[in-house]
Chains A and B, each alone.
Chain A
Amino acid sequence: MYRLLLLSALIVLASCNTTRVIKPLEKGEKQIGASFGGPGIIYAGVPLPLPMTSISYAQGLDTGLTLAAGLHTSALLFGDAEVDLSLGIKVYASKSERFGLTASPGVHLLYGFRGNDFRAYPQLEGIGWWQYGEKNHLLYGGLGTWIELVREKAHGEVQDNELMPYLTLGHQFAGEKWQWQAEARYIGFNYSNDNIVVDYIGPFPNGTTGLYVGVTRKIGKK
């Protein structure tokens, strides 16, 4: 049955890695990125993060406003397409830009070619960040949620979950061009793990924890 557990765990593209920006880029600034990671499960007794991958592009549209787009490459392996679009909006930044708050509304779009199924999941996230050190490393934490628009599940059953919230805590190591990012998430803390097919890893009976790593690189001229 463990193989079946893996089947069901791998499906959780809905909890896959993130492509939004933590701190909005400068106007005209561009970056590309890739990330890897996903929710944790117990597989054959071993805790594992699911190997979700994505590539991303972001561009500063204006001061304090960045557009980010991501292509979820792991979804392609299943014959599905998943992209996400998000804005990084500066809500607050201290004068020295040491502290700040970013709002990140977005949407994940999924399309299954086999059944011609389409789903759209709006996403909202608020992120607080602290920039420190000479290289401006970034420590951040936030609260976000996916929003379920479909009210009916398979076989006409009612979809009770309207939100799939998550908490994040992460760190960006800043370089001249490259930035490295590590992020932990606690996903679906409103969602009971009782009697579901997946053995998720979490500190409580609800939800799962996820681990993600990513790299971004600034491209072009500002």
Chain B
Amino acid sequence: MRKLIPILILALVSTACIKLDALIYSPYTDIEAYLLDDYEGRQEIAVGDDYNIPDSNLHVFTLSSDPEGDAKEIYALYVGDISEIATDTVILYLHGNTGHLDLYWTRIKLLANAGHKNRFGVMAIDYRGFGLSEGPPTEEGLYEDADAAMKWLKENGLTDDRLVVYGYSLGGAPATELTANPRTFRPSKLMLESPFASDEVMVQDGSGMSLPGDYFSSLEIDNAEEIKKVEVPFFWIHGTSDAFLSIETHGEVVFKNYQGIYSEAHRVEGGEHSNVPEVMGYDPYLEVVLEFLER
């Protein structure tokens, strides 16, 4: 038994850094180009031709994102007239944990058409490790990559008061983080769709017990706490049938913890994690989005 003790200690020390953080990201990297309307793989939601974007309003390009010396080239998509960034409201769309920009293309098109045809400029990125963007995904990479998008928008004339950040699912983490703790921009509004509260809630939902999140993960994503620092108007939308991130344990907690100047909640009856705009109906969805953007 005495011989076993050092072995056990060694095993403990040598394995103590193994965590499951990387499993939170599920990027697809099997593409050679962004196909957008021509993409035939799985898409989050399907929309009709009414929401098509003219080619002149499509801009795919790369950005350099450099969190503490870990510079990576990431891909970005801007939908709209770049010359209008200096004068109009822009939505920064931060996507979820799966896939790449093509999967979210229909969602991006919807937002660009809120109000009327091609009304809003929408910026979206593939985080490092997603789609054609370089490198493995990391938590700091999420924040830095989203901030790189903000820097590009700033260089093109955007000001704080016209930037609205929209985070879907995992995208709620950089959206909330960069609104709560501004870097390049102090966004004017925050919109979260189906956000998660924290990895600790995932752990406790999964186990049914009060296990701390950091038993299994060194992720520090904590939207439920960061949202307390957000003062700008807040829009939250979540499906009541979300079997992935429960509305009760995730979304409601984030919404309840918001302490800023204005908030609105949209609990979409029957909506699941990936289809809230579809279940709500595209027109009603865009109506509430537009009302919030213009208020």
Show the binding face of A for B, using Cβ within 8 Å.
1-4, 6-15, 71, 73, 75-81, 110, 112-115, 117, 119, 121, 146, 148, 150, 152-155, 157, 159, 161, 164, 188, 191, 194-198
Contact = CB atoms under 8 A, between A and B. Distances in A.
B243 to A, nearest CB: 5
A110 B8 CA distance: 16
Given A9-B206, A148-B210, A3 B23 contact: yes
Contact of A154 (B11, B20, B213, B248): B213
Contacts of A113: 16
For chain A, what secondary structure do more than half of its interface residues adopt (helix, strand, loop), or is it mixed?
mixed
Given A154-B197, A197-B206, A1 B97 contact: yes
A78 B206 contact: no
Contacts of A197: 202, 205-206, 244-246
Contact of B211 (A3, A11, A81): A11
Interface stretch (B79-87, B214-222, B262-270): B214-222
B180 interface: no
A102 to B, nearest CB: 25
B208 A188 contact: yes
Interface in B12-33: 12, 15-20, 23-26
Closest CB pairs A-B (n = 10): A79-B16, A115-B214, A8-B206, A150-B210, A7-B23, A154-B200, A117-B212, A195-B246, A112-B215, A196-B205
Contacts of B276: none
Contacts of A15: 207
Contacts of A79: 12, 15-19
A186 B211 CA distance: 20
A193 to B, nearest CB: 9
Given A15-B207, A79-B18, A154-B204, A195 B215 contact: no
B249 A157 contact: yes
Contacts of A12: 206-207
Contact of A119 (B20, B205, B210, B242): B210
Contacts of A164: 208-209
A4 B24 contact: yes
Given A4-B97, A14-B209, A78-B19, 14 more contacts: A2-B26, A8-B205, A8-B206, A76-B15, A79-B15, A119-B210, A152-B210, A161-B208, A195-B241, A195-B247, A196-B205, A197-B202, A197-B206, A198-B205
Contacts of B212: 112, 115, 117, 119
A71 B273 CA distance: 38
Nearest to A152: B210
Nearest to B169: A1
B26 A11 contact: no
A13 B211 CA distance: 9
A10 B20 contact: yes
Interface residues of B, number: 50
Nearest to B241: A195
Contacts of A6: 23
B18 A154 contact: no
B207 A14 contact: yes
A115 B209 CA distance: 17
A75 B253 CA distance: 29
B203 to A, nearest CB: 5
B97 A11 contact: no
B215 A78 contact: yes
Contacts of A115: 212, 214-215
B225 interface: yes
A4 B26 contact: yes
B65 to A, nearest CB: 23
Contact of B216 (A1, A11, A71, A146): A11
Contacts of B11: 73, 76
B215 A11 contact: yes
Contact of A117 (B201, B214, B224, B249): B214
7 contacts: A7-B202, A14-B209, A77-B15, A78-B20, A115-B214, A154-B213, A196-B205
Contact of B225 (A14, A152, A155): A155
A14 B211 contact: yes
A154 B224 contact: yes
A102 B25 CA distance: 46
